[in-house]
A and B are shown apart, each in its own frame.
Chain A
Amino acid sequence: MSGGNGIAIDVKGLTKSFGGREVVHDLSMQVMRGSIYGFLGPNGSGKTTTIRILCGLLTPDSGEGTCLGYDIRRDAEKIKRQVGYMTQRFSLYQDLSVRENLEFVARLYGLRDARGAARDMIKRLGLSGREEQLAGELSGGWKQRLALGACTLPSPKLLLLDEPTAGVDPKARRDFWNEIHALAADGLTVLVSTHYMDEAERCHEIAYIAYGHLLVHGTVEEVIAKSALTTYTVTGEDLNELTAALTGKSGIDMVAPFGTSLHVSGRDVAALEASIAPWREKSGLRWHKSSPSLEDVFIELMSRSKDNFQ
């Protein structure tokens, strides 16, 4: 194996256009082996396209790099052998049973004992007793587990998961993430795209991508620190009125309700504090300065990138 330097994915300047529309723009990233790398960004930001480039399903218009030490342009076939790709849409055969789906994948990768491998995976997934059920009849959560099982069956070195938990209930999501952490602990590298902030916080490293541009990357703490955002949390009465009054004021980049509280954020601390000053002494409102949440950071990034790249 080449690339024993601890880097699983190393790409530079990836660009991809569809019908004249640039979906991925000059994207560079590095993912360490054994880490869980979160890919965040709004719908249509190029997450899926980037993942497809990495596993050889799309060829980049320009840019280069390696995946598991193999050139993403020349060695797509070799990459496919060692990468498990879980598509956004359930892509196992709905009219095959759980067992038949797993055996199909096992045979396709040439596992010596396809039946045995499928049997072990069914046990591991906790699907014993359901192996003869058609995949199409499983609930959303079980479908995702099965899809993950199918991806990991051929013992890949890298997992590419495209919004694996979309539309899955919280319990199933947590189980799913526990599984991903267990896999990463075994040395598997995982690149996962998601819209959920709690999931992002469970990643070792995250990257935020919007309109094809990778805007920021690092650990969660680093990303929050890089945002240079100051956030005040307000609780109290008449928050709707306050929202209307503060929105658009100088220094206030974002006003977002979080349950019974309101997050007021801005990058220019002085301007922000000047704008909220008249409201700070108002009775019935309690203000305190807090660090921004990841969600604050991303929503702020999203609204900013819209201005830049629309």
Chain B
Amino acid sequence: MSVVDHSAPSPEIRERFGVWRRSYAMLIKEFIQLRRDRVSFAMIVMLPVMQLLLFGYAINTTPHNLPSAVLLQEDSDLARSILKALENTAYFRFIYEVHDVEDFDNLLKSGKVLFGVEIPRGFERAVRRGDRPALLVAADATDPVAASAAIGSLGMVVQTALKHDLYIGNPPEMPFEIRAHARYNPAAVSSLNIVPGLVGTILTMTMLIFTALSVTREVERGTMESLLSMPIKPVEVMFGKIIPYVLVGFVQAFLIIGIGVGLFGVPVLGNLFLLALLSTLFITTNLAIGYTISTLVQNQLQAMQMSMMFFLPSILLSGFMFPFAGMPAWAQYVGECLPLTHYLRIVRAIMLKGASMQNLRFDALALAVLMLLAMTIAVTRFRRTLD
């Protein structure tokens, strides 16, 4: 029966089920290929799991324990209890105590702290006299989301502080006021934060893909075999493949910043040359990472997928979409390993805060280390032979 059927199917059956028969043949083939492609298979599982875990555990839009500094010009009991009260709000975590205005400003500029509390000289005396002195809280408002909740909590701090320690009697009104100052972005314009962030994000995406495909493309097209038979060293291949895109990235960065300044009125307060220099470093770091990816994968599809796997945490954990300071410690550690995290601090600090190289030493160094690490892996992974 079945022998007859498939050796000579009647013309009507062929016609009626032709679509399904052929689709089925295609479907079977696709499943077989999917099963062979381990990386694609892993992506099917990894992507949703990674997204869920990152969104679920790492991201917090009302961040707590924000790194803060205090400029202590008077060491009094009152000052101590105010700091205590600030920490009790759970929004602030004092990690620096400075006595000099310049140090205080540099901490904010470099992004090491998001808040600075200034307790002026003669503060306690002024309170006792009933002068109602002002306590200055400077917030880094480059990321308005991160700062807003904490600023909002300041109103309650006075009462809390008074309840505990104030021995001035029973003040009918506020004995001092807290003056919050949103630095760098007082009007909380979100484009001021987003445009510099986009420079980093777009560069990450494009640079990564340019080089992630470069080696696999040569392997897939068969040109790698003759390239390997010629007298060129892995480092030379890498430099040759990275340098052209440094220029491309540079043009891209220039374009985004130009539009940001021209259309959105984003300022560039810092040194343009410094911005260009550190952007070049960031571009090169991403190209090196992309190149490393291309030495690890087998084909261009896998290269794209691995680039995505790198890009996703970069967006989520770098402080681009969500406040970096709001993430749990482990996520911050992961974030510190991503070049975008450091570049976001750099580009925001230079454009919005007018930061200098001195303020950005750590992040520049981190970028350089990540770049060298990626290059080393790439050169050692690059196969000189076809073994």
Contact = CB atoms under 8 A, between A and B. Distances in A.
A85 B229 contact: yes
Given A57-B386, A58-B387, A92 B223 contact: yes
Interface of A: prevailing SS: loop
B225 interface: yes
A109 B223 CA distance: 16
A90 interface: yes
Interface stretch (A75-83, A253-261, A277-285): A75-83
A80 B385 contact: no
Nearest to B386: A57
A159 to B, nearest CB: 12
Contact of A89 (B222, B229, B230, B387): B222
Contacts of A58: 385-387
Contact of A109 (B228, B230, B385): B230
B225 A87 contact: yes
Give the interface size class of chain B. 10 to 19
A108 B231 contact: yes
B221 interface: yes
Given A80-B230, A81-B231, A56 B385 contact: yes
Given A58-B385, A58-B387, A91 B231 contact: no
Contacts of A144: none
B358 interface: no
A90 B221 CA distance: 9
A105 B386 CA distance: 20
B226 A87 contact: yes
A15 interface: no
Contacts of B228: 57
Interface in A103-141: 105, 108-109
B232 interface: yes
A23 B385 CA distance: 17
Interface in B197-223: 221-223
A83 B228 CA distance: 12
Contacts of B221: 91, 93-94
Interface in A34-92: 52, 55-59, 76-77, 80-81, 83, 85-87, 89-92
A89 to B, nearest CB: 4
Interface of B: prevailing SS: loop
Give the interface size class of chain A. 20 to 34
Nearest to B221: A94
Given A57-B386, A58-B385, A80 B223 contact: no
A80 B231 CA distance: 6
A83 B226 CA distance: 11
A80 B221 CA distance: 21
A57 B231 contact: no
A77 B230 contact: no
Contacts of A90: 222
Contacts of A81: 231
Contacts of A87: 222, 225-226, 229
Interface string B275-304: 000000000000000000000000000000
A56 B225 CA distance: 11
Contact of B387 (A59, A83, A86): A59
Contact of B222 (A55, A80, A91, A109): A91
Nearest to A136: B221
A222 B221 CA distance: 41
A57 B230 contact: no
A68 to B, nearest CB: 14
A258 B302 CA distance: 50
Contact of A59 (B223, B229, B230, B385): B385
A77 B230 CA distance: 9
B382 to A, nearest CB: 14
A105 B230 contact: yes
A92 B62 CA distance: 56
Contacts of A91: 221-227
A85 B225 CA distance: 9
A81 B232 CA distance: 9
A58 B386 CA distance: 6
Interface string B215-257: 0000001111111111110000000000000000000000000
B230 A108 contact: yes
Contacts of B224: 91
Contacts of B223: 91-93
A92 B232 contact: no
A56 B229 contact: yes
Given A87-B222, A108-B231, 16 more contacts: A58-B387, A77-B231, A80-B230, A85-B229, A86-B226, A87-B225, A87-B226, A87-B229, A89-B222, A90-B222, A91-B225, A92-B223, A92-B226, A93-B223, A94-B221, A105-B230
10 contacts: A52-B386, A56-B385, A58-B385, A76-B384, A81-B231, A90-B222, A91-B221, A91-B224, A91-B227, A108-B231
Interface of B: 221-232, 384-387
